[in-house]
Structure 1
Amino acid sequence: MLDQGGVRWSAAPGEDGDHVTYCRICEALCGMVATVENGRVVRIRPDKDNPASKGHICVKGPAIADVTNDDDRVIHPLKRVGPPGSFKRVSWDEALDDIAARLQSLLANHGTEAFALIYGNPPAFGMTSVMAPSIFQQALGARKSFSPQTEDTASVLLAHQLLFGTTSYAFPDLPECDHLLIFGSNPLVSHGSLMIAPRIKSDLDAIAARGRVIVIDPRRTETARRFEHVPILPASDVWMLAAMINVIDEAGLIDETFVSEWTTGWRDLRAALSPITPERASAHCGVKASHIRQLAIEFATAERAAAMCRTGLCRGTFPTLSNVLLNTLNIVAGKFNKRGCSGFGHGATSSADMLDAAGMAGYTPNASRTSALPAVVGSLPSTTLFDEITVPGEGRVRALLVSGANPVMSMPGGARLPQAFAALDLMFCLDLYVTETTRCADYILPATTFLERDDAPILFGGHMVRPYMQYAPAAVAPRGEARTELDILKDIAARMGKADAFGAMGPLEAADMILRTGPEGESAGEGSAMLSLEKLKQHPHGVVIKRGRWAFRMQDKLKHADKKIHLFEPLVAQEIERLRNTQVDESNRLRLFSMRKLRSINSWMHNVEKLVRSDQPLLLMHPDDAAVRRIADGDLVRVSSDWGAVDVFVHVTADVIKGSVTYPHGWGHAGGWRRANEAGGANVNAIAPSTPATAEQISGMSWLDGFSVEVERLRL
């Protein structure tokens, strides 16, 4: 295959030469070129011709070659023959026949409520790898699913559902923005998250050159260090946002025209928030009242401004309300649905419509059998998983499919999950490794890495800062006996007589249909990109959507029946009342919050030597807090909460706000991956609040940021 410059690219999987592909480790989807020799990926470099990333790539992208070639990787079906971690190699037929027969019997005897699904991060950015488990669940007629959503996005999705009636994600117009507020996000490390912005560092630099980038965060993060930093106490942003809305209202800077035309509930929201003055907010968040006023006025008077956030707003005590108020700040200040501000996106596909079609949408109150917690976008809260398996009664989970997830490491209280797994009648996992979770399974079925499967980022078409679309064929054939998630689960369904749910189309045929009938497909008419799979094959680096992200009508994005933005839904009113009744925390206990590290992605890439050899997990503590506790830099300390304790090493630094400590999650391994086990550290989720009562009740979101801990020096 020749590109426009006459360079020859390899096309067949495993063929020697360079293969154009893209990264599926996070939402950035950076373009890459994989060099193959003798059927093996030997190196990966950035794709300078990718229209979105233009040569950007982080250190994790090339490391997928190490994962693909890892000696510790599972590449044959494994059956457990003893205690957790004891496996023998078996044939695919033996494994799938047994799984299908046992699952068929369980469903016949106990009903579809006895089956549950957990899906995780590694397959989350692949077209079929993320959809296949949901299709399998539909084939069984089952509904219970768990995911990292309640440690990541459930509050964001619920906030959008309440405001807009849809899970379509609103995000800033980075290329044209001049004034950006970043709450609880570290995009120089996370690369944006939820929005597809592979060149976000360049975008932020350009915004700062034109105007300002202001980072509100408890830690002086990599992003905060590069731009302006406003320190704030963990999980307190909700107070600052409420006060900023009040300041803008009192200053007469509300966009009354937009609010009147497009929203409902503004008067009720204004009245409910009125007691939250900058002075009251300051007592809760640690930002001076005068600074809150200044930031609010500067934001409202900037012509092209936007406020954005990520997990720092999503995992405290008011995560849904925090996300509602952040979007409300954009809306009432006249910074929504405008170039240079915040708004929905347009691209080759509609992510919200696809999730809806797959049954991965909506809000279900009281969805949990064992608590009053809801399901958001079809996913039950992580804090209910243990009880769903262990509490007797009708609907108890007896069979569990885990696809690319490691809940023992990622869920709060995950350390006790092996006890629950032991109560299951069947547990089978699709994974790359024997992890802390999969070691408990009856079967581990080897899945592919993204270098070993065909793909297109059709699930993310509506979240792209600069929309484009790309098709990436597999660079190499699957190692050993690895198979795609779709092939594995379709085969099990076929053995149960339920393959019809997967349809007659193959994944590439389905992708082609989605592209052709989508917003930029051949049926979209004049001005569209006229996308099809064949066109993408002719342009291996990707096709730009020339109409850009704003080529939509907002009334088509809003899904409430009245086509309005609802600012004061009953759940919002309920949460504001709870906020107003919250007292200032005057205890002397420290608040623990999590942090991201550039060389780490949750827990699943810690077996790569080049990533972990210089990446020691450390607890960051302010010098004043350390001095009071007689703790010195490098000391071993015990971090204790009401839910447990872990021992970690400390780094004393003024980068973290006084009164708080932070530690990265995903460490402290004890699985079948040797380098990860040697990497050390501790699993901070083991001491996080882990019962249904500690989750946010309206979203089920886990409380992972801002809970109280004690830190004491250990004498060696």
Structure 2
Amino acid sequence: MQTHRRACHLCEAICGLKIEVDNNQIVSIKGDEQDPFSRGHICPKAVALKDIQEDPDRLKNPVKKVNGQWVETTWDDAIELACEGLFQVQQKYGANAVGVYQGNPNVHNWGLMTHSANFLGLLKTRNRFSATSVDQLPMQLLGYWMFGHQLLITIPDIDHTNYFLMLGANPIASNGSLMTVPDVAKRIKTLQARGGKLIVIDPRKTETAEVADAHHFIRPASDAAFVFALINTIVGEGLTRMDRLAHHSEGLYAALGAISKVTPEVAQAECGIEADTIRQIARDFANAGKAVAYGRMGACTQRHGTLAQWGIQLLNFVTGNTDRVGGSLVANPALDLIAAPNSKPGSYGRWHSRVSQKPEALGEFPSAIMAEEIQTEGEGQIKAMVTIAGNPVLSTPNGQQLDKALAGLEFMVSVDLYINETNRHANVILPTTSPLEHDHYDLIFNIFGVRNQAKYSAATLPKPAGCLDDWELMDKLAACYSTKIGKPARPSMPPQMILDMGLQMGTYGMASEHKLSLEKLRQHPEGIDLGPLRPSFPDRLQTADKKIQLAPAEVLQAAANYVADLLNDDKRAGAEMMLIGRRHIRSNNSWMHNSERLVKGKNRCTAMVNPADAARLNLQDGYNVRVRSRVGEITLPVEISNDVMPSVVSIPHGWGHDKSGVRLQVAVAHAGVSCNDLTDEQWLDEPSGNAAVNGVPVTLIPVAQ
């Protein structure tokens, strides 16, 4: 029996695991109490790593489609087929005829992070899409505009704050997002034990709201109005405190002027929270001494996501809680991608999409416009797709439209462990080693950690003969495509070498007392604690003048439009019912429903509605309801609950495994329906282009039983 220590890579929490292995078989997976960051915490998904490893549906070898059937093939044949198909499309139609979609697991697999850019760069296509624009794009864009780098995202200092105001986030179910915070429940208890408060603002009484000191329902997509009113109350009552950063910022008065008309009364009409409650929250926040506001999925994936996140940044700033212990801080990771020589700070509007003229943001177009770029004929039309670790048919707006679009492609390549709802349309699928068959270092989520730490995880199980790690696959694709286009392949180094160089040259490297290196991390598989977050502005700022830019021009224009609409009663008229999502601790977006231990039990794919709406619409608990939007409809069981506010229906995302050709036996048996058959590809945040999957207007119709 062998004991292996490693980090769980499935979500952002980076929990330490202790895995018992006997004769290359997993015996048990437990939380590692020696991990200084997660301290023994574990969630059900980590245990399901055993299920992924042993899953008979997981692809171990590449497959190609022959006469409509999947056939295993050799790596040489598969890579040649993939590159030749893409090459022929680009030769015939041009570089932009190939589109690329990268799913969420790309940032959880370090080999893809270090090595996919070489291959994708050879394609020279502007039609790049990813899960970013169905997720955190507003936060990254504001990092670029305000702080000078898309990865400079401020993190709540949960371990030292006195007042935690949380909007549209549910870390007890998600394990934290853009706030790498393992064992968040214990950290919340510790916050409360020292006299601090957690206040949750959400259309649903989430698992996190259940343990909060107070929870307030808010109408979906109205977070910006709420936060603007908080700021105006604080400014109007003389409660501002900007301290040292006042001299390291630009645009404060322009920012405050843009939102000055959003009084608590105006906000109440929009968000449903009473004006006096808004004033009291503002006073409590300003007087807490150490306070922090934080918003996540619900505050991002809505039509005013950029404004909501901008408002959160302004609220922290005017109360002196930006770059302050107990407020919002930025991490100082051992391998710092922000300071890396080839780091990409960000971009916006360098070019626009062909059909609807959407601006690129951070080098990508909104994922919501993929289908129109495939289906609309003309020069620059996407004729082939590369998908890497993604399933946009289930995870992006109007999935049915995208599904039809993918079926009409001339060629498609997918890098994935499974045959899913998206890559069932592919010509060739290239699987990599399983999560436990390759090593891991978290390049991204240490940047968002609530504490600085470093942990390298060696492979738990040996790599089967002939299988490729993700970085090896990317290198082979790059070498093959380089030959096709007549360019020499760029030399690359293994990710382990990149990591070792980055560690030794970083803040905690050989010039420091820590003297970090890959070898030192190998000697400490439980991980190494590098201390709490500390104030680091203005030094850490990447703006040209080393100042926080509080009033980006694009945001001010969006704010002007938004405030004008708030003051216009006709514009403010809301829908009868609005759709929001729902996360569960035993789900991980669309791809872990093939684990029996994660899907067993009560059906979780339900339409949760308030009792008042159920009575008004003649809905009965457990009976089916038809939910309809502009783009489609789905039918699923009703779940009546006081946990969701009136006029809101909550449906979890990631389900809908009922399409032909999918090879996910367990998931198909628990198929559910996809809420993204309701979400609208035209319902986007401005100016980011992020998908607004929360707040979509829908109609509920009882189904005759």
TM range, normalised to the smaller chain?
over 0.9
> Does the CA-based 8 Å contact 2:64-2:429 persist in structure 1?
yes
Partner of 1:32, secondary structure, is: strand
In structure 2, the CA distance between the partners of 1:587 and 1:375, relative to structure 1 (3 Å rule), is closer
What is the Cα deviation at residue 626 of structure 1? 0.7
Partners of 1:160 and 1:438 in 2: how far apart?
33
Return the alpha-carbon distance in structure 2 between the equivalents of residues 224 and 501 of structure 1.
52
Shift of 1:169: 1.1
1:598 alignment partner, one of 585, 606, 609: 585
Aligned to 2:387: 402
Q: Are 1:154 and 2:154 an aligned pair?
A: no
- Structure 2 equivalent of residue 713 of structure 1: 702
Structure 1 position 224 matched with structure 2 position 209: yes
* Structure 1 residues 107 and 630: alpha-carbon distance in aligned structure 2, compared to 1, 3 A threshold: closer
Supply the distance in 2 between the matched residues of 1:400 and 1:462 (Cα, whole angstroms).
Answer: 31
- Residue 654 of structure 1 corresponds to 642
Match of 1:102 among 78, 81, 85: 85
Whether 1:699 aligns to 2:688 is yes
Aligned to 1:8: none
2:72 corresponding residue in structure 1: 89
* Equivalent residue, structure 2, for 1:183: 167
Q: 1:538 aligns with which of 483, 503, 523?
A: 523
Aligned residue for 1:631?
Answer: 619
Is the contact between residue 351 and residue 460 of structure 1 (CA under 8 Å) also seen in structure 2? Answer: no
**Distance (Å, rounded) in 1 between the aligned partners of 2:270 and 2:490:** 51
Change over 3 Å in CA distance of 1:111–1:138 after alignment to 2: same
Where 1:180 maps in the other structure, the secondary structure is strand
Measure, in 2, the Cα distance between the counterparts of 1:586 and 1:390.
33
Q: Does 1:128 align with 2:117?
A: no
CA offsets 1:517-542 (integer angstroms, 9 cap, x no match): 122211xx344x21110111111111
CA distance in 1, matches of 2:168, 2:460: 37
> Is the contact made by 2:111 and 2:470 (CA closer than 8 Å) also made in structure 1?
yes
Residue 662 (structure 2) pairs with residue 676 (structure 1): no
Deviations 1:248-307 (A, max 9, x none): 001111124445312211112222211110001000000000000000000001111111
1:236-275 to structure 2, matched below 5 A, reads: 236-258=222-244, 260-275=246-261
**1:615 Cα shift?**
4.9
Task: Answer yes or no: is the 8 Å Cα contact 2:126–2:364 preserved in 1.
Answer: no
Structure 2: distance between partners of 1:686 and 1:387: 16
Q: Which moved more, 1:447-456 or 1:404-413?
A: 447-456
| Structure 1: runs of 5 or more not aligned | 1-15
Distance in 2, matches of 1:209 and 1:29, equals 25
Paired position in structure 2 for 1:114: 97
Unaligned runs of 5+ in 2: none
User: Secondary structure at the residue paired with 2:13?
Assistant: coil
Q: How many residues in Structure 1 have an aligned counterpart in Structure 2? A: 691
2:677 matched residue in structure 1: 686
Kept in 2, the 8 Å contact 1:373–1:699? The answer is no
1:50 Cα offset (Å)? 0.7
Is the aligned partner of 1:46 residue 2:31? yes
Q: Partner amino acid for 1:622?
A: N
Hey, what's the Cα distance between the residues in 2 that align with 1:625 and 1:555?
A: 50
CA distance in 2, matches of 1:687, 1:459: 31
Q: Distance in 2 between matches of 1:113 and 1:27?
A: 33
Residue 311 of structure 1 is matched in structure 2 by: 297
Tell me the CA shift for residue 121 of structure 1: 2.2
SS at structure 2 position matched to 1:405: coil
**Shift in Å at residue 359 of structure 1?**
4.8
What do residues 470-500 of structure 1 show as CA deviations (whole Å, max 9, x unaligned)?
Answer: 1111111245754222211211222233696
Residues 162 and 358 of structure 1, relative CA distance in 2, 3 Å threshold: closer
Q: What is the match of residue 508 of structure 1? A: 496
Contact preservation (8 Å) 2:7, 2:440: no
* Bigger mean CA deviation after superposition, 699-708 or 94-103: 94-103
Residue 380 (1) aligns with residue 358 (2): no
Kindly state the Cα deviation for residue 661 of structure 1 after the two structures are TM-superposed.
Answer: 1.0
Change (3 A) 1:586 1:100: closer
1:440-491 C-alpha deviation (Å, 9 max, x unpaired):
1000111222211111113333321121111111111245754222211211
Q: Aligned equivalents of 2:505 and 2:170: distance in 1?
A: 36
Shift of 1:358: 5.7
**Residues 255 and 360 (structure 1), Cα distance of their counterparts in 2 relative to 1, 3 Å cut:** closer
Cα displacement (A) at 1:424: 2.5
1:177-576, aligned counterparts within 5 Å?
177-210=161-194, 211-227=196-212, 228-258=214-244, 260-354=246-340, 357=342, 359=344, 361-478=346-463, 481-497=466-482, 503-522=491-510, 525-527=511-513, 529-546=514-531, 548-550=532-534, 553-576=536-559
Q: Distance in 1 between matches of 2:289 and 2:75?
A: 61
Do the aligned partners of 1:133 and 1:403 also contact (CA within 8 Å) in 2? no
Residue by residue over 1:162-220, the C-alpha shift from the partner in whole angstroms, topping out at 9 and shown as x without a partner, is 22122211011111111100111001111111122112211111112222111111111
Helix, strand or coil: the match of 1:122?
A: helix
Taking structure 1 as the reference length, the TM-score comes to 0.93
Q: Aligned partner of 1:309: which letter? A: G
Checking the alignment, whether the CA contact within 8 Å between 2:479 and 2:489 is kept in structure 1 is no
In the alignment, which residue of structure 2 is the partner of 1:620? 608
The change in CA–CA distance for 1:703 and 1:365 in structure 2 (over 3 A counts) is farther
Secondary structure of residue in 1 paired with 2:19 = strand
Distance in 2 (alpha carbons) for counterparts of 1:133 and 1:491: 11
Q: Secondary structure at the match of 1:458?
A: coil
Partners of 1:152 and 1:502 lie apart in 2 by: 32
- The residue identity in structure 2 corresponding to 1:51 is P
Greater mean deviation of Cα atoms: 577-586 or 511-520: 577-586
> How many angstroms apart in 2 are the aligned matches of 1:571 and 1:53?
39
670-679 or 342-351: which moved more? 342-351
What is the alpha-carbon root mean square deviation over aligned residues? 1.9
**SS in structure 1 of the partner of residue 107 of structure 2:** coil
Structure 1 residues 615 and 52, CA gap change in structure 2 (3 angstroms) = farther
Query: 1:517 is matched by which residue type in structure 2?
Result: M
One-letter amino acid of the structure 2 residue matched with residue 608 of structure 1: S
After superposition, the Cα gap between the structure-2 partners of 1:360 and 1:368, relative to the gap in structure 1 and judged at 3 Å, is: farther
SS in 2 for 1:61: helix
Alpha-carbon distance in structure 1 between the residues aligned to 2:457 and 2:254: 50
| C-alpha displacement of 1:102 | 2.8
The 2-side partners of 1:664 and 1:221 are apart by 13
| Alpha-carbon distance in 1 for matches of 2:343, 2:93 | 25
- State the alpha-carbon separation in 2 of the partners of residues 248 and 45 from structure 1: 47
The Cα of 1:575 is off from its aligned counterpart by 1.2
Describe the SS at the equivalent of 2:43: coil
Counterpart of 2:635 in structure 1: which amino acid? D
| Cα offset, 1:649, TM superposition | 0.5
Does structure 1 conserve the Cα–Cα contact (< 8 Å) formed by 2:575 and 2:697? no
CA distance in 2, matches of 1:526, 1:130: 27
Change (3 A) 1:368 1:655: same
1:321 Cα deviation after fit:
0.8
**TM-score when normalising by structure 2:** 0.95
> How far apart in 1 are the matches of 2:548 and 2:574?
39
SS in 2 for 1:514: helix
Residues 651-699 of structure 1 show CA distances to partners (whole Å, capped at 9, x for unaligned) of 11111011111110011203210110111321000111113xx322411
Task: Choose the corresponding residue for 2:121, options 134, 138, 142.
Answer: 138
Name the counterpart of 2:60: 75
1:643 shift after superposition? 1.2
CA shift, 1:360, in A, is 7.8
Q: Tell me, in whole angstroms, the C-alpha distance in 1 between the residues paired with 2:249 and 2:344.
A: 28
What do the CA deviations read for 1:2-44 (whole angstroms, capped 9, x no partner)? xxxxxxxxxxxxxx51111110111101001222222232321
